[in-house]
Amino acid sequence: MQSIERWNRLLPLHLLLLTTLQTCRVCSARGYHRMSIAVNSSTVNPHLWYRQPPPVLPSWYTPTSNFRNYKVFHLIFLRQLDVRCNDGTRAGYYIRRSKNTNSRKWMIYLEGGWYCFDEATCISRQITNHALFSSRTWHINRYIGGVLSWDERINPNYHDYNTIFVPYCSSDLWSGKKSEPTGGYYFHGSRILTAVVDDLLQRPEFSQAEKVVFVGSSAGGIGVMLNIDRLARRIRRGLRYRRWQLTRRIATNIQISGLVDSAWFLNYPTYAQPFSSSCTSIYDCPPEEGILRGIGLWQPRIPRRCRVAQGKKNFWQCYLGPVIYSYIQTPIFIIQSLFDEAQLQMSRALLLTGGPYNKLAYIQNLGKAVAKSLDTVRGVFAPACSDHEILTTNHWAQLMVNSQSLQDTLNAWDAHLTRWRRYPQWYLNLRQPPASHSRQDSRSQRPQQNSNSSMIFLSKLVAVLNRPKTDTTAMRGGRHYVTQRTQRDLSHPPAFVFRAIDRCSLDAGPDDFGDVRSREKLAAACMGRSHITPLCNPSCRALIHPRTMEKLTVVSLYELYGVDSAQLAANIGVSVSRLKALPVKEQMRMMFCRRL
């Protein structure tokens, strides 16, 4: 009887422990973990929680195992406690190891997400996009698609890379370097990237890296352009030292490149009235004013060459792709929509809102200006789309420009980079670390030459002097020229060009567009003609009509801007329904080619 009463008293406690255990199991299954944070309540204002010091994390919070799950990104907080997000919480990164355990290829991806330039915009950003402001809500594990996916069907080019995803929580376009807070906020963008690279250099698996690709979308792409040269030098120095520690070998080179997505913005006149000087939103401010106001908060780290060339008044233009590109030494590939919705938003000319026909003409001219600014870029893929952050979508590899896919273009770009970098990929077995090798030491270790070796040297010298002259200009691009180029300079890539810029060609191809074929006269009239306009590329993401909620076509797009589709179809000689049912290219041929 006493045992039964005792059991009844302990039953609530057992139920409580069982419920807690089940809750912990569910949390662990979902990737969440409880975390105790030591905070002095006497010194913390609960209303200013975003300005609190970073939490003191327990040692088990940083995952150190189970990295072989190649489908999941695992969170790692940076070891440097003085590298923080906007609200003072610790910054970090996610890592996903490759399914190929022997992979020596690494991708470092920088997240995008606009910026803030004063207290009002930072508070608004904190409320609406808290994950871009603080690390408090970051999950321990994440599944990410697009160019970060492990699935070869989604990510055919980089699925087998060891992938690093760096969340964007500095709101400074990754350029801030001031250690102390400004106005109660930390802007540590460039410091975060430096700390991530330093943390990776301490990892044994990264010390064997042969290929590193910095990738960024939107603000992350700007961060790549501003920091890639500096980070590339840091990686090369760190790997030389790290490999010497581990293997007593020195790698003479490593392939480092960049991939910039949707970060090629122009300082283009806006369509609507000029912005007010007292703008309070990042979407209402032109790039010049927004960046100038943000520079005072960020204390940015700008590449010296660009900063000196642009001067104190115009160095803000180093945030613009057409300006900073000419000062970047590391090879980078540009992916940019000609009608990027972020560029249209800053120009106050959103595509789907419609308006007068001169607005559509403005948008078309803006697309032509973007295409023209990309003419000097060595590696570029620019479809006539309105997509922003192309690489974050799961169909990015299927985009086409002039019958050439983005997947094939990147494969060709990477193959040429690899071929060029393969020449210096040999290892030197040395007995001493590289720092101790000097000219004096090498002379002291050089064996003494006897008279026989001197005679051999003189005989070789005479043979070289008596060799008949050859025309070296005929060897350009040949084996001798490549060898001399490799030995002379191993840091600069060759001047090969991979450019796929959409011109919206109206040329008719055989059976390119289903069952509809251009008539011979119409095909002859369209020969060699092009017309850059939104929706001219069928591989772009489909847009939805704001009123009918149907898929937008070229004809329905012109209807948004006051064009009478009935009159247009009558001039062409077909019905409206027939015209709208045609493929995109066929619609454009009938609309823009002179019929004979």
pLDDT at 423 over 70: no
Name which of 38-42, 248-252, 397-401 the model is least confident about. 38-42
Percent helix, percent strand, percent coil in the chain, to nearest 5? 45, 10, 45
Q: What is the pLDDT of residues 162-180, one digit of tens each?
A: 999 999 999 988 898 888 8
pLDDT digits 0-9 by tens, 309-334? 998 888 899 999 999 999 999 999 99
| Segments of 101-245 assigned E as strands | 105-110, 141-142, 162-166, 211-217
pLDDT greater than 70 at residue 464: no
Residue 361's contacts (CB-CB under 8 Å, 6 or more residues apart) are: none
Q: What's residue 208's pLDDT?
A: 86
- Which pLDDT band holds residue 496 (cuts at 50, 70, 90)? very low
Which residues touch 389 (CB under 8 Å, ≥6 apart)? 112, 217, 218, 261, 262
pLDDT tens column, 267-312: 888 887 655 556 777 777 777 888 888 888 888 999 999 999 998 8
Residue 582 has pLDDT above 70, yes or no: yes
Report the relative pairing of strands 379-382 and 332-335 from DSSP bridges: parallel
Please give the torsion angle defined by the CA atoms of residues 69, 74, 78 and 79, in that order, rounded to the nearest 10 degrees.
Answer: -50
Which residues are bridge partners to 249 per DSSP? 429
Q: Domains, the chain, ranges and CATH?
A: 50-421 (3.40.50), 510-592 (no CATH)
pTM of the model: 0.75
* φ, ψ dihedrals at 195, nearest 5°: -65, -35
pLDDT digits (tens, 9 = 90+) for 331-350: 999 999 999 999 998 888 88
DSSP bridge pairs for 300: 176
pLDDT number for residue 312: 86
Q: How far apart are CA 329 and CA 92, in angstroms?
A: 28
Distance CA 147, CA 107 (A): 10
Question: Are the beta carbons of 333 and 386 closer than 8 angstroms?
Answer: no
Conformation bin of residue 299: beta by default, left when phi > 0, alpha when psi is -120 to 50: left
What residues have CB less than 8 Å from 220, skipping those under 6 apart?
A: 109, 110, 111, 112, 166, 168, 174, 261, 263
pLDDT score of 48: 36
Which residue's entry shows tokens 């940019």?
336
pLDDT tens string 181-239: 888 899 999 999 999 999 999 998 898 888 999 999 999 999 999 999 999 999 998 88
Contact 298, 175 (CB under 8 A): yes
Q: To the nearest whole percent, how much of the chain has pLDDT over 70?
A: 68
Task: State residue 93's pLDDT score.
Answer: 95
* pLDDT value at residue 399: 92
Residue that has been written with the tokens 């010497």 in this structure = 244
CB of 583 closer than 8 Å to CB of 589: no
DSSP character for 77? E
Supply 53's token pair: 């010091």
Segment (H or E) for 380:
strand 379-382
**DSSP secondary structure code for residue 216 in this structure:** E
Q: Where is pLDDT greater, at 240 or 455?
A: 240
Q: In this structure, are residues 271 and 349 in contact, taking their beta carbons and an 8 Å threshold?
A: yes
- Strand bridging mode 73-77 / 141-142: antiparallel
Q: What is the DSSP letter of 317?
A: G
Arithmetic mean of pLDDT over the chain: 76
Between the alpha carbon of residue 360 and those of residues 136, 546, 584, the distances in Å are 43, 16, 18
Q: What pLDDT, on the 0 to 100 scale, is given for residue 6?
A: 54
Residue 45 predicted with pLDDT over 60: no
Contact indicator for 138, 75 with CB cutoff of 8 Å: yes
Rounded-to-integer distance, Cα 555 and Cα 568, Å: 9
What residues act catalytically?
Answer: 218, 340, 388
pLDDT of residue 367: 93
For residue 410, which of 230, 227, 159 has the smallest C-alpha distance?
A: 159
For residue 70, name the pLDDT band (cuts at 50, 70, 90). confident
Pseudo-torsion of CA 314, 318, 322, 324, nearest 10°? Answer: 130
How far is the first Cα of the chain from the last one, in angstroms, to the nearest whole number? 106
With a CB cutoff of 8 Å and minimum separation 6, the contacts of 502 are 338, 371, 382, 383, 384, 401, 402, 532, 536, 537
Provide the pLDDT for residue 82.
Answer: 87
CA distance 90 to 81: 7
Residue 311: Cβ-neighbour burial (10 angstroms; 0-12, 13-18, 19+): exposed
Task: Check whether 522 has a pLDDT greater than 80.
Answer: no
532 contact partners, CB below 8 Å, separation of at least 6? 338, 364, 367, 368, 371, 384, 502, 503, 504
**Contact call for residues 257 and 225 (beta carbons, < 8 A):** no
Token pair 């019958």: residue: 403
DSSP string, 255-313: EEEEEEES--------SSSPPPTT--STTTS-HHHHHHHHHHHH-B---HHHHHHHHHH
